[in-house]
């Protein structure tokens, strides 16, 4: 059987690294992209391989160079997992335009740039799989992390539209919506300058809300669980359009769509 080749972004830690390792151990040649790079390795079986490559998803030249490298070394690309992301916290009123753009640059436009580089290859091949990491926050709005919720929601809609457009070319799309996960994402979260100053009128409520979220994250599901959802989809014959890991998060999303808006938002306000 021919070895599958998959590119995954945000693969230096957390969910991305877990997915890269799982793919490697399932006989896949994985190009693990991140801004820091890393040491490549092979699976114990000797079939799968993880090749770390330096790639900033906000840099189109670096993306093009990595995709060109993959084609040169393999003459194909079976799939891409867009997992790179970051988070910013703070009240909407306290968030500058530049801070909001920062949130969208990696989480949305970084995904768009990566997919744009892969689509011509997939179309020429007549097949290809695209998996992206969104969030339950795409469905359930998180106060004081509104721009994170907004960007994940934008990504979800983008992927659904993309699935319709590329279906005639044999290309499949899947969006993973994880809930609270125990990763380095918590410690890497940034805050708006106004939030960090402590002068915001929202400071007390924001501190409680984000603190609650961070506690839930550190008691959340293992990145291996989320990664397994990604890997299962990328290796399946027919991918699902949306996957929500964890029964509790499936229930949360189901309830959010069915309860009256006022009730749903009241509950979220009480939690956060």
Active site residues: 12, 134, 148, 152
Residues 170/237, Cβ–Cβ less than 8 Å: no
Ramachandran bin of 265, using left for φ above 0, alpha for ψ from -120 to 50, beta for the remaining angles = alpha
Give φ, ψ of 32 to 5 degrees: -90, 105
Beta-carbon count within 10 A of 180 CB: 20
- Residue 65's contacts (CB-CB under 8 Å, 6 or more residues apart) are 55
Q: What single string gives the DSSP state of each residue in 134-186?
A: --GGGTS--TT-HHHHHHHHHHHHHHHHHHHHHGGGTEEEEEE---SB-STHH
> Closest Cα partner for 155 from 123, 130, 129?
130
- Residue 231's contacts (CB-CB under 8 Å, 6 or more residues apart) are 19, 22, 23, 26
Q: Is the dihedral of CA 30, 180, 136, 197 positive or negative?
A: negative
């Amino acid at each position: 059987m021919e070895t599958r080749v998959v590119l995954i972004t945000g693969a230096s830690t957390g969910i991305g690294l877990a997915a890269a390792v799982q793919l490697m151990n399932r006989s896949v040649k994985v190009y693990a992209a991140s801004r820091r790079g890393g040491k490549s390795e092979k699976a114990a079986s000797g079939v799968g391989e993880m090749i770390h490559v330096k790639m900033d998803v906000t840099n189109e030249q670096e993306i093009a160079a990595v995709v060109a490298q993959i084609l040169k070394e393999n003459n194909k690309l079976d799939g891409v997992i867009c997992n790179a992301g970051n988070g910013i916290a703070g009240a909407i009123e306290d968030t500058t335009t530049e801070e909001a753009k920062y949130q969208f640059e990696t989480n949305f436009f970084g995904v768009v740039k990566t997919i744009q580089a892969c689509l011509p290859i997939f179309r020429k091949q007549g097949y290809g799989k695209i998996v992206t990491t969104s969030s339950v926050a795409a469905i359930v709005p998180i106060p004081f992390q509104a721009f994170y919720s907004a960007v994940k929601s934008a990504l979800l809609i983008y992927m659904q539209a993309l699935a319709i457009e590329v279906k005639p070319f044999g290309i499949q799309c899947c969006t993973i919506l994880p809930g609270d996960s125990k990763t380095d994402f918590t410690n890497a979260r940034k805050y708006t300058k106004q939030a960090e100053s402590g002068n915001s009128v929202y400071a007390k409520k924001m501190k409680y809300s984000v603190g609650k979220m961070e506690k839930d994250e550190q008691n959340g599901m293992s990145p291996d669980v989320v990664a397994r959802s990604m890997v299962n989809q990328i290796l399946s014959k027919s991918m699902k359009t949306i996957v929500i890991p964890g029964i509790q998060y499936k229930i949360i999303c189901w309830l959010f769509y069915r309860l009256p808006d006022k009730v749903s938002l009241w509950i979220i306000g009480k939690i956060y």
